[in-house]
Amino acid sequence: MKTRKGPHSPFSLCLALILLLILTACKTAPSRVETTDSISYEPLKEDGWWRISTPAEQGLDPKIVAKAYREAGNIKTIYSLLIVKNGYLVAEKYFNGKQIDETNNVASVTKSYISALVGIALAEGYITSLDQKMMDYFPEYAGPDLDQGKYEITIRQLLMMRAGYPYDSTSAYYAQLSRSGNFMRFVVGQYPLSNPPGLEWNYSSASAHILSGILTKAIGMPLVKFATKYLFDPLDIEIRTWERDPQGYYMGGGNMAYTSRDMAKYGYLYLSNGAFDGKQVIPAEWIDESLQSYSSTNYKDLGTFKDIKYGYLWWSADVGKYKVNFAWGHGGQYIVIVPELNLVVVSTANPFLGDFSDEAWKMEKSIMDLIGRLISNIR
């Protein structure tokens, strides 16, 4: 007997059944290639302050946002990426085992908090002028052996990193500092200047630590107490860790720790000209003054961040067609504000990867480029 192969033959029915099963499997099986639309970046929870929204509701293209989160997932050192648009938290995701409530050492982002505290101290009358001299606060280190240029250094020059101190993001500098046993005495009294005050810009953690000392002496109380009263409490943020040097001065150049959401609040404060929840936390004039571009830097262009300049312990750059200001910490800690877009972008990452190694810089720059591409693609 011949097997029929017509429309209703057993062979054709079996073939049809097999094809149906294949088609059904293709429809229901998960795709091996993840599309940008399938990336999850929805804010994880409401916390009593942050208003939650979506990129689309706030005028952002969800595909651009999803692409950024997909790229972030491929960076082995990144811990978090948050986006705030129009005062709403629209995107949030944590990576590499990190959780929403964990704090992270924000490294040199600390410097931008010091900038705010100087502005507040000035407004409250603890500091009378930015042109006050550094040595007015450290007479104990004066003497015939002191570099005479140090008597000319002002608070303003320290804020601008134009005080004459050399570039110090090096392992050698931190080894010297550690061996000194007295950080403030070392940076004020012993660490040599590389050029006359006011002449040129050099990235200087020493300058930021000196500002911490000036603030401490000017306000007459532990700096963390002053910061809590005038900055942290008004923002309803918690400073869980802030390291001190051997003499008890809080580190001005780094080693604060915050949650990513608390960093976003700080960025939103600057985006809002110092106002938060209807209260003026930092004078608007200080925000404007701090974010000016006073100095070109020797970084110039870094990938998507172009024409990088410096204000009062804040950076500025051109990213795509937008002007941005940003706080920047080693490893990939960023608070980026884009006034034209009413946008804040925050990232955290491993701050300790390889100290100042090429690998650490590569990872740090990859996060900067990621944020830059995100901003550049917004229309």
Q: What is the pLDDT of residue 18?
A: 32
| pLDDT class of 5 with cuts at 50, 70, 90 | very low
| pLDDT higher than threshold 60 for residue 264 | yes
User: Which secondary-structure segment (H or E) carries 84?
Assistant: strand 78-85
Average pLDDT over residues 28-35: 33
| pLDDT higher than threshold 80 for residue 269 | yes
| pLDDT higher than threshold 70 for residue 79 | yes
Return the closest-CA partner of residue 352 out of 378, 337, 330, 324.
Answer: 330
Average pLDDT over residues 41-51: 86
Contact 113, 254 (CB under 8 A): no
| pLDDT class of 351 with cuts at 50, 70, 90 | confident
Q: What is the pLDDT of residue 31?
A: 30
Average pLDDT over residues 133-151: 96
The better pLDDT of the pair 346, 364 is held by 346
Burial class (CB in 10 A: 0-12, 13-18, 19+), 340: exposed
Q: How many alpha carbons fall within 13 Å on the CB side of residue 233?
A: 7
| pLDDT higher than threshold 60 for residue 37 | no
Paired tokens of 45: 């929870």
Domain coordinates in residue numbering, the chain:
42-102+259-379, 109-255
* Among the four given CATH numbers 3.40.50.720, 3.40.710.10, 2.60.40.1930, 3.20.20.150, the one describing domain 109-255: 3.40.710.10
What CA–CA distance (Å, rounded) separates 38 from 40? 6
What CA–CA distance (Å, rounded) separates 31 from 35? 9
pLDDT digits (tens, 9 = 90+) for 174-208: 899 999 999 999 999 999 999 999 999 999 999 99
Q: Do domains 42-102+259-379 and 109-255 have the same CATH topology?
A: yes
pLDDT digits (tens, 9 = 90+) for 285-307: 999 999 999 999 988 788 999 99
pTM for the model? 0.88
CATH 3.30.70.1350 fits 42-102+259-379, yes or no: no
Q: What is the DSSP string of 97-153?
A: T--TT--EE-TTHHHHHHHHHHHHHHHTTSS--TTSBGGGS-GGG-STTS-GGGGG-
Among the residue ranges 151-160, 238-247, 335-344, the one predicted with the least confidence is: 238-247
Contact 334, 252 (CB under 8 A): no
What CA–CA distance (Å, rounded) separates 107 from 152? 29
Bridge partners for 323 per DSSP: 318
Q: What is the pLDDT of residue 356?
A: 64
Q: What is the pLDDT of residue 355?
A: 66
Q: What is the pLDDT of residue 229?
A: 97
Polymer length of the chain: 379
Contact 227, 117 (CB under 8 A): yes
Find the helix packing angle between 62-72 and 358-376, rounded to 10°: 170
The better pLDDT of the pair 370, 353 is held by 370
Contact 303, 291 (CB under 8 A): no
Chain mean position to CA 260: 9
Average pLDDT over residues 33-59: 80
pLDDT digits (tens, 9 = 90+) for 99-124: 999 999 999 999 999 999 999 999 99
Nearby residues of 270 by Cβ (< 8 Å), 6 or more positions away: 282, 287, 290, 291, 325, 337
Burial class (CB in 10 A: 0-12, 13-18, 19+), 271: buried
Return the closest-CA partner of residue 251 out of 218, 232, 229, 224.
Answer: 224
| pLDDT higher than threshold 80 for residue 22 | no
Paired tokens of 6: 């017509």
CB atoms within 10 A of CB 269: 23
Return the closest-CA partner of residue 80 out of 378, 371, 304.
Answer: 371
- What does the mean pLDDT of the chain come to? 89
Paired tokens of 213: 């000392």
Q: What is the pLDDT of residue 97?
A: 94
Helix (H, G, I), strand (E, B) or coil at 26: helix
What CA–CA distance (Å, rounded) separates 343 from 65? 13
What CA–CA distance (Å, rounded) separates 292 from 312? 8
Q: What is the DSSP string of 261-297?
A: HHHHHHHHHHHTTTEETTEESS-HHHHHHHTS--EE-
